[in-house]
Amino acid sequence: MNREIVLESDNIYYVNISYDLIDEYLKMFNNPNIKKFITADPKPYTYENRFMCVKEALETDTLIILSMFDKKSGKFIGNIDFDNITLSNAEIGIIINEEFQNRHYGLEALKRFIDYGFNDLKLEEIYLGVYSNNYRAINLYEKLGFVPYKTFKNVAIINGDAVDTIYMKLHK
């Protein structure tokens, strides 16, 4: 690993988001099996759009995005982030590449990042928004102790289905 390791857990190295990984990010965000859980916008993510996202994360204090690598294979796993960071709370987000899904990398990464949020960033609360048809993610968030606190109904039509956004939060 020739990148500076920011965090570490059993199977994962976490490094700062980086311009040279934009091609990896684009492949992941534009995978239809992933994109449908991230946005209802039918337009593909573009290089410029991902470039601006990296730039924002590197230049502001309110957004931290880390890229994850598998310790064993060295392969890119996905991204995990805190957005809208304040002194007391932040919104967490995660994307795991299809190849690594359902292998508990999501669970491991969220546990590590939540610990980082509460103990290093000194947050009091972590919240998130998830589409109501994202059963796998909801299952995982519940397992970690997140509880739903509000729902925005019918926020999007995804693959013909009307979906809600469920907001969930976790206290320290």
Ligand X SMILES: CC(C)(COP(=O)(O)OP(=O)(O)OC[C@H]1O[C@@H](n2cnc3c(N)ncnc32)[C@H](O)[C@@H]1OP(=O)(O)O)[C@@H](O)C(=O)NCCC(=O)NCCS
**What is the contact mask toward ligand X in residues 134 to 163, using x (rule: CB under 6 A)?**
xxxx-xx-----------------------
CB closer to ligand X, 49 vs 133: 133
Q: Are strands 76-83 and 125-131 parallel, antiparallel or unpaired?
A: unpaired
Tell me which of 49, 89, 101, 133 binds ligand X, using CB under 6 A: 101
Tell me which of 65, 90, 106, 113 binds ligand X, using CB under 6 A: 106
**Nearest one of 89, 144, 76 to 117, comparing CA atoms:** 89
CB of 146 to ligand X, least distance (A): 11
Give the bridge partners for 7, in sequence order. 14
Instruction: Quickly list DSSP for 49-64.
Output: HHHHHHHHHHH-SS-E
Span interacting with ligand X, options 68-76, 82-90, 116-124, 128-136, rule CB under 6 A: 128-136
Check the CA dihedral 112-82-166-102 and report its sign.
negative
Contact 137, 170 (CB under 8 A): no
Tell me which of 53, 66, 96, 126 binds ligand X, using CB under 6 A: 96
Interaction of residue 94 with ligand X, rule CB under 6 A: yes
Neighbours of 121 (CB within 10 A): 15
Span interacting with ligand X, options 14-22, 94-102, 113-121, 153-161, rule CB under 6 A: 94-102
Number of residues that bind ligand X (CB under 6 A): 19
Q: Which of residues 11-70 bind ligand X (CB under 6 A)?
A: 34, 37
Instruction: Quickly list DSSP for 17-38.
Output: --GGGHHHHHHHHT-HHHHTTT
Q: Report the interface residues with ligand X, using CB under 6 A.
A: 34, 37, 94-96, 101-107, 130, 134-137, 139-140
